[in-house]
Chain A
């Protein structure tokens, strides 16, 4: 008589912590009972019992628990001693370590899954997963142009840069077909190398603007004798990628600066009406 009651009631008799839908907790939660999240938790969760993330629940945290049942959203790595269940409508971004993983139809998940009990692998896999996340965050465009392996991209990028420099000396900036990134890059080193370099070299110490740095970094490979070490090339490309997007304007502004300093004012160049000489009067 008492047995069915205890078997039907354990969830009511054993305590349960509820984080309601209008509650946000930021920090660390430790506990030895079930935790039901209908609101939002950021930080970390460590339980000896079951974590339920309800459909309205959002957990942005490292999660450790015996069981994890997700109907809402978890962003972060999940480690379960027993099982992880992703119900319909669940969304999980992060790595899962659990001996049992149940993913229902309609659940969304991105990350690595480890079902054995080894300790070291998750660290490696975590880095891999962060790269996938950042890939998506960066967007498809840059990744597509950079290719799947970053190492290959750096090598080809360095090669392209050197080719661009030779093209610059021959003053045919865009003669060779390149990728869009290098095509836009080609005029910049050309200008930087042939026209702007002397003036820039003089002005460099007084220039505080950090946005010019990429251009300066692009300029050295344009000089023939400088054969950068492979490490330098790698670094150069990384900067170049970041520089080309926001650097679209800085070279032009550099041009404006150049004309401003090189060419005198119009009144100084062109003689006023009725005069033979230009300049101060």
Chain B
């Protein structure tokens, strides 16, 4: 539990920045810039957000551009609308995605 958890009833409207893992079960609007990992859980929603991170794993929903320096994973049942820039992109069966993919980094 050392990392940061945004609980399911929490709504953050603004900017999140930092150097540690972030688990999102709630709703975040705005900018997220981390140098570590982001996990958007099943009920987690990220809307109108630009996400900059090392790795992102999406089980929930993301609307906005994703810039990952390492990896972006779209798991089953996730919904992502927006562009993804990442050297490694994994899209699981059942994931829903709309947007551009750029793997050049």
Chain B contacts to A: CB under 8 angstroms: 1-22, 25-26, 30
Contact = CB atoms under 8 A, between A and B. Distances in A.
A30 B13 CA distance: 8
A22 B13 contact: no
B9 A15 contact: yes
Contacts of A15: 7-9, 25
B65 to A, nearest CB: 18
A27 B17 CA distance: 11
Contact of B16 (A16, A24, A35): A24
Nearest to B16: A25
Classify chain A's interface size.
Answer: 20 to 34
Interface string A30-67: 11111100010001000000000000000000000000
Given A32-B9, A35-B10, A27 B15 contact: yes
B17 A23 contact: yes
B18 A33 contact: no
Given A18-B4, A18-B5, A20-B2, A29 B18 contact: no
A39 B4 contact: yes
9 contacts: A15-B7, A15-B8, A18-B1, A19-B4, A23-B4, A24-B17, A28-B14, A29-B14, A31-B26
Contacts of A30: 10-13
A25 B14 contact: yes
Nearest to A18: B5
A21 interface: yes
